[in-house]
Structure 1
Amino acid sequence: MEDRIASVRAQQIIDCKCRPAVEVEIRTESGAVGRGAAPTGTSVGMHEAFVLRDGDPSSYNGLSVHKAVDKVLNVIGPALVGMNVFDQRAIDEKMIALDGTPDKRNLGGNTIYSASIAAFRAAADARRMPLYKHIAGRDIRTVPVPCFNIVNGGRYETLTQAFNEFLIVPYGTDSIDFAVEMAVTVFQKLGEVLAKHLGHKPQVASSYGYAAPSDDPEVILSLMREAIDACGYGDRIAFALDCASSEMYDSETGTYLLKGSRVSTDDLIAYAKGLTEKFDFVFIEDLLDENDWDGYAKAVRELTRTIVLGDDLTVTSPALLQRAHETHAVDGFILKPNQVGTITEAMDAHRFASEHGMISVPSGRSGGVVDDVVMDFSVGLEVPFQKNGAPRSGERIEKLNFLMRANAASPGCRLYDIRPLLRF
């Protein structure tokens, strides 16, 4: 198939945290249209693609992206016009070559990725089909199990919860509609459980889950289990953790914060192992610092009751994934296409993982947009599970509706059965 890119436009929009983002619109000669905007994470790994912002303190505290818009209009656009919209690899490689830096510092990873998404969407629009079907190359057979970040750790006025995300995974059903209903029911019940525990209404945290009520992960997991049991879903919902431990790591002492104390890599692995013996975990992500390769290899050996995932360690980079595979550092990775900066590189990372027995877990970012392309990835690649936020706020709810719509539009489609992957 062939359909040439006719025009490339760009403008500044705002994401769900009201931070500026660059949005690119690509039109083809046949009249197909694709739009793309790069999300931004709150916890950002040091190896991620560079986010180009203006740095002008008088506009959005320096976060505006007019420079990125100019790069699209004056550099990327003229280079892409006339290219075949169905040749995603050629489009992405053209932008990578134009940039000429390892971390996309010149044009901006956010700029390149927004244009990459726009081209991908325009190609699907030219075929008059949803992007997930364009990715799959046929009707989809499964939708992923959503994993909900319902309690948010981090630094609060009275405490610091070292682990970043406490998730529930509603896996014990073949219906996406019921999986969503279970998660919503437990999330609402947890509000009541936390209110009773705290003596007041729980706070809404920055990622729209509940603010961590304790610096002790075990206390939080016990409260979550109380809510799950109260809803009658004890054997249908499991747990997951994103520790984001790079945020709590002190490189001078080589220690991590945990329950108000500093602990070693070995202590943290032993603590996580203890948690997996008390609670059923589907996965634990970013248990250690993003440069602690030896520690991760040890964690994989020790944590036999859960899947060990890398995020800041691997940043969706095919080169880092290859290293992770060779050193047995993780069982899988978090697929965040904006970390690497093009659709092609993200697809290559997923392909490498699939061919080498590693799990890809697509994830949105906290600074997301309503039509996040990661949902098309999740559904089109037919992955087992994906990471979601709490079932609160528009762009997070929209992701759930997306899964239910895709399922309903695809004959014979069902929720992915992750039970063969579980280690508990």
Structure 2
Amino acid sequence: MTRIASITARQMLDCGGRPLVEVDVRTDSGHVGRGAAPTGHSVGAHEAFVLRDDDPSRYDGRSVHRAVRNVEEVLAPALVGRDVSDQAALDTVMIELDGTPRKTRLGGNAIYSVSIACLRAAAACAAEPVYRHLAAGPLTTVPVPAFNVVNGGRHGALVQAYNEFLVVPHGAEDIFEAVEIGVRVFEVLGGVLERRFRTRPGVGKSYGFVAPSSSPRVVLDVLRDAADACGVLDKVAFAVDCASSEMYDRPSRTYELDGRRTDAAGMVEYAAALTEEFALLFVEDLLDEDDWDGFALAARELTRTLVLGDDLVVTNSARLRRAIDERAVDGFLLKPNQVGTITQALEAFEEARRAGLVVVPSGRSGGVIDDVVMDLAVGLQVPFLKNGAPRSGERIEKLNFLMRAAHDIEGCRLADVSAIARFPDRTADVAVRPAGDLEPVA
């Protein structure tokens, strides 16, 4: 047994320049684990609570000194002296100390940072990478990265209802080719956008290009042209994160979509048409986070793609069980900070695995360089994960993590996405055109 000797916390910054909680857990053997709690730009209403100071004179109210104090004055005294390797027991103590469903008393950001730090300290004591420490069996694969290359949302007068457009190099021979394809398509995409729309593309909030059109179809067509210009159309699929809660009007129960408003059935019908035209691996958060009937409709009707829930499930086992019972999703996004502890995130993973659902680890837009999500992605042997555009340091580090892990895992292969993909082969339907011949869209 290796016991926790000390727990310290401090306020630091995430990769978007926002304050976060960072925690060091030191054991009596001298090993140290460090954890930090990132947050996303799009935060679901049912996620674990991010405790901030609300002092407008400090970081516009976003500082986290209260959460830091809760780590050092409440959580640390309860955990020091306990076995660092008993993750479930440590997380349970913190959950009970907080005593609220969403960790609003002590802060999900305080609890989650300690949870990660304990996990990493335990792995350090075992002298193994965290992903091996998490693994339930032999490691044979690394997941396919999905590159978020175009960012939607509200940009002045232009409103692109879908939040993210992704390129997924599932047909690559190995992780090294997959990363190269993602980087190359992103590099070419800038020029394709500039030629097609006669303007230099802006940078979105997640470091992809700003969506150039209100039409999701037009954006996907541009992505297909970029992959075509790179000669990799036969090796990539596409995906979208709609984040539709941001475009939902609760009183009218309608969504904004391409300059008009439509209901859940209209959202599903539009997405179904996209799956007829594009190889879409998944559609994430097509409906509002509480639109259970809409999600169930999508799961029934969208037979050519995977329907994933993020804000709907928020890595919460209770909401996941409801989604399973109502047959509302084909999988969910694994974001451990949404639920607030490593143990609860792993419980959700096991619940989904038993139900035959796809689990997709994902970082947050306000990420950290050393994100434990990557250890989960490799250790849990998932088929693919979401990554940002290859433009910023923390996203590049995630790609380097996958390549480093593949180098260290003997005989490592790229995960086989074809076993779960539902889209037909569309490459025969698309004529190859040089990028320079692309015409602007009216």
The normalised TM-score by structure 2 is 0.95
1:391 pairs with 2:390: yes
- Which runs of 5 or more structure 1 residues have no equivalent in the other structure? none
Output the amino acid matched with 2:417. I
What does the per-residue CA deviation read over 1:187-231, in whole Å, with 9 as the maximum and x for residues that have no partner? Answer: 011000001122122101111000000001111111111110011
Output the amino acid matched with 1:396. R
SS in 1 for 2:193: helix
Name 2:435's counterpart in structure 1: none
Name 1:237's counterpart in structure 2: 236
Name 1:102's counterpart in structure 2: 101
Displacement of 1:153: 0.2
Name 1:332's counterpart in structure 2: 331
Displacement of 1:325: 0.5
- Indicate conservation of the 8 Å contact 2:283/2:305, yes or no: yes
Name 1:46's counterpart in structure 2: 45
Return the alpha-carbon distance in structure 2 between the equivalents of residues 147 and 106 of structure 1.
35
Name 1:287's counterpart in structure 2: 286
Return the alpha-carbon distance in structure 1 between the equivalents of residues 90 and 69 of structure 2.
19
- Indicate conservation of the 8 Å contact 1:174/1:416, yes or no: no
Return the alpha-carbon distance in structure 1 between the equivalents of residues 100 and 264 of structure 2.
34
1:206 pairs with 2:183: no
Name 2:4's counterpart in structure 1: 5
Return the alpha-carbon distance in structure 2 between the equivalents of residues 332 and 25 of structure 1.
33
Aligned residues: CA RMSD: 0.7
Name 1:402's counterpart in structure 2: 401
Within 5 Å, give how 1:123-202 maps onto structure 2: 123-137=122-136, 139-202=138-201
Displacement of 1:173: 2.0
SS in 2 for 1:235: helix
Return the alpha-carbon distance in structure 2 between the equivalents of residues 406 and 143 of structure 1.
8
Output the amino acid matched with 1:274. A
Name 2:311's counterpart in structure 1: 312
Return the alpha-carbon distance in structure 2 between the equivalents of residues 137 and 264 of structure 1.
43
Return the alpha-carbon distance in structure 2 between the equivalents of residues 197 and 158 of structure 1.
19
SS in 2 for 1:370: coil
Structure 1 stretch 198-207 or stretch 251-260: which is displaced more? 198-207
Return the alpha-carbon distance in structure 1 between the equivalents of residues 137 and 400 of structure 2.
21
- Indicate conservation of the 8 Å contact 2:26/2:32, yes or no: yes
Structure 1 residues 167, 278: closer, same or farther in 2, change over 3 A?
same
Identity %: 61
Displacement of 1:101: 0.7
Output the amino acid matched with 1:272. A
- Indicate conservation of the 8 Å contact 1:139/1:410, yes or no: no
Name 1:342's counterpart in structure 2: 341
Moved over 4 A (4+): none
Return the alpha-carbon distance in structure 2 between the equivalents of residues 284 and 404 of structure 1.
26
Within 5 Å, give how 1:5-84 maps onto structure 2: 5-84=4-83
Displacement of 1:137: 4.8
Output the amino acid matched with 1:14. L
- Indicate conservation of the 8 Å contact 1:174/1:417, yes or no: no
1:249 pairs with 2:255: no
What does the per-residue CA deviation read over 1:255-308, in whole Å, with 9 as the maximum and x for residues that have no partner? Answer: 000011111111110000000000011100000001111111111110000000
Return the alpha-carbon distance in structure 1 between the equivalents of residues 209 and 24 of structure 2.
36
SS in 1 for 2:167: strand
- Indicate conservation of the 8 Å contact 2:136/2:380, yes or no: no
- Indicate conservation of the 8 Å contact 2:88/2:343, yes or no: yes
Output the amino acid matched with 1:277. E
Return the alpha-carbon distance in structure 1 between the equivalents of residues 27 and 223 of structure 2.
49
Name 2:267's counterpart in structure 1: 268
SS in 2 for 1:289: coil
Output the amino acid matched with 1:121. R
Displacement of 1:135: 0.5
What does the per-residue CA deviation read over 1:96-149, in whole Å, with 9 as the maximum and x for residues that have no partner? Answer: 000011110000000000000000000000011110010115552100000010
